[in-house]
A and B are shown apart, each in its own frame.
Chain A
Amino acid sequence: MRNIVIIGATSSIAEHCARLWTKQGDVTLTLVGRDAQRTERVAADLLIRSNYAEIRVVITDFLSPSSIKATADQIAQKGVIDIILIAHGSLPDQHDCEQDLNKAHSALEVNAISPVLFAEAFADHLAKANHGTLAMIGSVAGDRGRKSNYIYGAAKGLVTRYAQGLQHRFHNSGVRIILIKPGPTDTPMTSQIKAAGARLAPVDQVASDIVKGIESGKPVIYTPAIWQLIMSIIRHLPATIFNRLNI
C-alpha cells in the first residue's frame, strides 16, 4: 500500500495524477487543500474512482509557516510517506503584478514561498525515514525570466533553485527529489491564456508524464518532453538576441 501526500490537491494537474495513482492499485491518499468544499469534492471523486481507497482530507492555511509545519508533522505521524507531490500555484497576470505590488506579493507567496515551506517541512521527516520521493511542480517559466511573466517565472525559478539544493542535500540517500517543469497546460489556471488562443498540453498527458517521471526518479522532468529542447534553446540565447524577442 503506497502512502501518497498531495499538497494543493484541487490543482487540476495534481488531481489527474491522483486519478492515475488510484488506477495503479492500492494507495492511501492524503489530500491537502485550502478550501474544504473543493477538496472534499476531489476526495469524493477519487473515492469512487479508486473503489474506496483510504483518502484523508487535510485543510490548512497555505501561507502560514506554523500551519504548514503542523500539517506536515501531523501527516508524517500517520505513517511512512512514499510520495509527496507539491502542486499548488496560480498564474498571475504580469501586467497586474506590475501595477499592484499586492498582487505581485501574493503571486510570489503562493508560487514560491508556500511550496518551498511545505517541502522544507516534510524534508526532515523524509530524512528521518531515509525514504520517499518529494516532487515539486515548477514550470518552464522558471528557466529564464521573460517580460511576459517574470513574476511567476521568478517564483518558479526560486522553486528550481530550492529543489537543486534539496537534491544536493539528499544525494546518496534513500530520498529522491524531483522537479517537474510543465509547459502551458490546459487547466482552469490557464483559462485566460487559453481564451487568448494559446496552444496548451492536455492535462491527462502532463499528469501521465509526471506519474511515470516520479517512478523513473529522474531529477528534472519536462512535460510535454519537447519543452526540454525549447527551453534549452531559450536559456542559451545570448541576451542581445533574447531581449529583442517579444516573448
Chain B
Amino acid sequence: MISVESWGRIGIYPHNIMHLTAPDQALSIVKNNHPGIAYGMGKSYGDACLNPGQLLWNTRGLDHFIHFDADNGRLTCEAGVLLRDIQQLFLPRGWCLPVTPGTQLITVGGAIANDVHGKNHHGFGSFCDQVLRIQLARTDGSIIECSRHSSPDMFAATAGGVGLTGVIITAELQLRHSPNLWLETETIPYYGLEEFFYLSDSSETEWEHTVSWIDCLSGTAAKGLFMRGRPARDYDKATQPRRSRNIPITPPLSLVNRLSLKPFNLTYYQLQKLRPVQRHEYYEDFLYPLDHLTNWNRLYGPKGFYQYQSVVPRDSGMATTQAMLDAIASSGEGSFLAVLKTFGQRQSIGMLGFPRPGVTLALDFPNNGDATKKLFERLDSIVRDAGGRIYLAKDARMSREMFEAGYPLLNEFTRYRDPGISSALSRRLMGS
C-alpha cells in the first residue's frame, strides 16, 4: 500500500497501485485486477482520482505517441501523455492543442475524463471538443472505440465521465495551427461585476483568451483584474526555459489564512497594477502561470484546501455571483485564487461535462473544517437555486442532492458505467 493524496491534500490514503505500461498489458491488468480507478498526475482537487484502501491504475507509463498526420494535425497518442509534452513538441512545428486548462501538467486521459476547459472557452469550447476518438479498456476484457460517429453515447459518457466508463488507453486529438508562441496581453482593473461582464462581452470577439482574478473580500463593488490575451502578430523573442521553483515542505499552518489574505490580495492587486497594461507574454507564462511553482498546493498547510468551482446560467449570472461573493465576505472565510470567467455558448459534449453557457467562479479555500463546509452549503444553495452545477474535478464534498440537481443526464450516464470501476467520488455521489 502506498499513500496517495489528490491535489487538494484534504486526506492522504493508502492505495494499491498497479502501473499500466503498454496498451496490451493495460487491458490484461484492468481485466484481471479490479475494481479500481485510473490515476494520472493526481491533479484532481477532490476525490475523483482516489480509491482509499483499494486499487489505482497508474497511467503514466502509457506515454507514447502513436501517429501524427502533419497534413491535417491529427495526433493519436496514449492516455498518459502530458499536455505539456504535446505542446512542447508540436508548437515549434506549428501545431498546438486548441484547449488546455490552467496547468499543462496533466494527462490526456485526465483531460478527457474531466472535459477540462481553458481561458478560450468562448472560441474553442472544452477539451473534448478536440477529441476525435477514444479507446477504452473495460474490466470485462473488451476494448471499446468511440467517437461522435461510432458509439456516440459511450463517447458522450466518457467525455467528462471522471474515468467511470472504462480506462482511457489511447485518444485521437485534433490539433490546430499554432499562431505564435507569444501572446499580446492586457490586464485591466475593474470595479464591480457590471464592469466585469462588460469587459468580458466586449472582449470575446477580438480576444482569444479571457479570465479575471477577483478580490472576494472587497465587498459590493468587487475589485478585480481582467486579463485577456491573443496570439501576438509580428512578435518573436528567444526564450530561456524558465526555472521551476519548488515548495519543498508543507508549512505547519496554511500560509493563506485570515491574517494573510487581505495583504495578499492587496499586494497582488497593486503589483499587477504596476505592470504595463499591454504586454507580450510567453504562452506558458500566460496560460500556465502556476506550473513554474512546483507543489504550490503545499502552501495551504497540512490540512489542505478545497476548491469550489461552480457555473451558473448567464441570465441570472450577475446577481448569483454577487450573492456568492456576499456570502463569502460575510462568512469570514476567504479565497486568494479567486477566478471569475464567462463561458461561451458551447455546452460540454459530455453527459457529466462541466462547461455550459454561463459564468464560472473558482475559489480556493484553506480547509478550516466546519466553518468552510458551512460556507460551501450556503454557496451550494445559491448555485442550486440559480440552476448551476459544481465541477467534479474540483469537488471533494458536495452532497448527492446537489450533484443530481446539477447533472440532469446522470441517469443516462449510469448505463455506460463500467461496473468494475469505482472511485471515492463515484461512491460518494452515485452510491457505487
Write the residues of chain A forming the contact surface with B, with a CB cutoff of 8 angstroms: 37-38, 41-42, 44-45, 48-49, 51, 188, 191, 194-195, 197
CA A133 to CA B2, docked complex, whole Å = 40
Of B65, B67, B93, most A-chain CB atoms within 10 Å: B65
Determine whether the beta carbon of B89 is less than 8 Å from that of A195. Answer: no
In Å, the complex CA distance between A51 and B68 comes to 10
| Chain A interface SS verdict (over half) | helix
Determine whether B61 belongs to the interface, using a CB cutoff of 8 Å to chain A. yes
In the complex, the answer to whether A197 meets B64 with C-beta atoms within 8 Å is no
Q: Does B203 interact with chain A (Cβ within 8 Å)?
A: no
The answer, yes or no, to whether B24 is at the interface (CB within 8 Å) is yes
Choose one: A44, A188, A195; the contact of B64 (CB below 8 Å).
A44
**Interface residues in B1-51 (C-beta closer than 8 Å to A):** 2, 16-19, 21-24
Bound together, the chains give a CA A42 to CA B61 distance in angstroms of 12
Is A48 within 8 A of B65, CB to CB?
A: yes
Contact check, A48 vs B67: say whether CB atoms are below 8 A apart: yes
Assuming A188-B19, A188-B21, is B67 touching A44 (CB within 8 A)? Answer: yes
CB of B22 within 8 A of CB of A38, answer yes
Residue pair A44, B65 in contact (C-beta under 8 Å): yes
| Residues of B in contact, count (CB < 8 Å) | 17
Q: A44-B64, A51-B93 are in contact. Are A195 and B22 (CB under 8 A)?
A: no
Which chain A positions have C-beta within 8 A of B89?
A: 48-49
- Chain B residues near A (Cβ < 8 Å): 2, 16-19, 21-24, 61, 64-68, 89, 93
Min CB distance A166 to B, Å, is 32
A247 to B259, CA, bound (A): 49
B66 touches A45 (CB 8 A): yes
Offer 8 A-B interface pairs, CB within 8 angstroms, sorted by A. Answer: A41-B66, A42-B64, A44-B66, A48-B65, A48-B68, A191-B18, A195-B16, A197-B2
CB-CB nearest in chain B for A48: B65
Bound state CA distance, A194 and B2, in angstroms?
A: 9
Name the A residues within 8 Å of B17 (CB-CB): 194-195
Q: Are B2 and A195 in contact (CB under 8 A)?
A: yes
Q: In the complex, what distance in Å separates the CA atom of A195 from the CA atom of B58? A: 12
Q: How far does the alpha carbon of A42 sit from the alpha carbon of B23 in the complex, in Å?
A: 12
Residues of A within 8 A of B65 (CB): 44-45, 48-49
User: In the complex, A191→B17 CA distance in Å?
Assistant: 9
Nearest B residue (CB) for A42:
B64
* Known contacts A41-B64, A197-B2; A191/B24 CB under 8 A: no
Distance, CA A37 to CA B66, complexed state (A): 12
State in angstroms the CA–CA spacing of A189 and B67 once bound together: 26
Report the separation of the CA atoms of residues A197 and B3 in the bound assembly, to the nearest whole angstrom. Answer: 9
- CB neighbours (8 Å) of A48 from chain B are 65-68, 89
Question: Using Cβ atoms and an 8 Å threshold, which residues of chain B touch A37?
Answer: 24
- Beyond contacts A48-B89, A191-B19: 4 other A-B pairs, Cβ-Cβ < 8 A, are A42-B64, A48-B67, A48-B68, A188-B61
Which residues of chain B have C-beta atoms less than 8 A from A45's C-beta? 64-66
Write the nearest CB–CB distance from B169 to chain A, whole angstroms.
12
Q: Report B23 CB to chain A, min CB distance, Å.
A: 8
Which residues of B are found within 8 Å of A195, using beta-carbon distances? 2, 16-17
Interface pair A41/B93, CB less than 8 Å apart: no
Residues in A neighbouring B64, C-beta threshold 8 A:
41-42, 44-45
**B424 CB to nearest A CB, Å:** 20
Closest 7 CB pairs of A and B: A45-B64, A48-B65, A188-B21, A191-B19, A45-B65, A48-B68, A41-B64
How many Å lie between the Cα of A45 and that of B21 in the bound state? 14
**B294 to nearest A CB, angstroms?**
13
What chain A residues lie within 8 Å of B66 (beta carbons)?
A: 41, 44-45, 48
Q: Which residues of A contact B22 (CB under 8 A)?
A: 38, 41
A41 and B61 CA atoms in complex are apart in Å by 13
Bound Cα distance from A240 to B419, whole angstroms:
57
CB distance from B75 to the nearest CB of A (A): 8
**Chain B hits for A44, CB < 8 A:** 64-67
- Residues on B with beta carbons closer than 8 Å to the beta carbon of A194: 2, 17, 19
Residues in chain A near residue B16, CB distance under 8 A? 195
Smallest Cβ-Cβ distance to B65: which chain A residue: A48
A195 to B22, CA, bound (A): 18
